Amino acid sequence: MILLTGGCGFIGSAFLLQWLSHTDEPVVNLDLLTYAGNPANLASIQDDPRYHFVQGDIADSKVVASLLARYRPRAVLHFAAESHVDRSISGPLAFAETNVVGTLKLLDAALAYWRTLESPAAAAFRFLHVSTDEVYGSLGPDAAGFTEANRYEPNSPYSASKAASDHFVRAYRHTYGLPTLTTNCSNNYGPRQFPEKLIPLMIHNALHAKPMPVYGDGQQIRDWLHVDDHCHALRAVLDRGRVGESYNIGGRSELSNMAVVEAICRNLDILRPRAGGQPHASLIAHVGDRPGHDRRYAIDDSKISGELGWNPSIAFDEGVRQTVQWYLDHEDWVQSIVSGAYRRSAQRNYSASTEFVARAVA
């Protein structure tokens, strides 16, 4: 049994779907179902006896402790996080509360649980913390990619909150001996990503003939990692990663934001041509740049490749084509997000889970 936090979000749900397609090991998903948590992401496994969902907050120590005591997991995989840079700029406090305080409380509960385990269960236990390459700051155009030895230089409230959480994970390993692992990934993309992020936002706007807003000159460079490749890497780290270590996970696909948007337009021109025949690229609109916008991220993934044998397998050209096709095939999913229907449905359908938590704590 493993316990996963934030499993109804983009990366967490992708991991759960992949996990249950590769193993029979049960999993408990603890998710508060804030705006980006969508149970519909996991509709295909909601009746699977190996899958257990609990609506709850990682910062609620009693809830977490009750789940650890009830299910006795061999690992905690921590995906839950506030993750959108723009939102962190307009409201940084929520990022500190979830990403820093929430992680700290989760670590505390995991430590207390781990201390109750006997050998060999204690030696086998893992706390896997999923983080971001943004903690390293911005790279110059010709600089080498981030390695695990790079100093932390976060430049946004989001990346600062994730950097703080990384430091707490490290501290719990060195101070208390908790068997931790940390991963720092580059920009993820793929199916079921919340439409505020670059790729799904551009697809949605293009399909509705709305402007496709690109910050500044659009030459900010990111390394793009398909979410399925990311999940394979996380499984490798959980299985074979060295306790106390960090592993950078990249897609080996450095592209400017403008190049990504143009790739989306090319695919839409083929897969869903506009009625008037105009290219989708005519919808691209440059807007004022984001405050403190990092210019370039790049990942050196030689550590995870050399130690664990993981390498990305999905080239960006193929991955983005598949992603565009997925959104074309699932416009109802996007519409439920835009309309807010997914949140109303979650509030109706998961009240029983909330009642379970109340009983468990009592």
Q: Which residues are known to be catalytic? A: 133-134, 158
Q: For residues 2 and 76, is the Cβ–Cβ distance under 8 A?
A: yes
Residue entry with tokens 């090319």 = 266
> Helices 198-207 and 331-339 meet at what angle, rounded to 10?
100
Q: Which residues pair with 246 in a beta bridge?
A: 182
DSSP sequence for 155-167: -SHHHHHHHHHHH
Burial class (CB in 10 A: 0-12, 13-18, 19+), 142: exposed
CB-based contacts of 209, cutoff 8 Å, min separation 6: 274, 283
**Amino acid at residue number 16:** L
CB-based contacts of 318, cutoff 8 Å, min separation 6: none
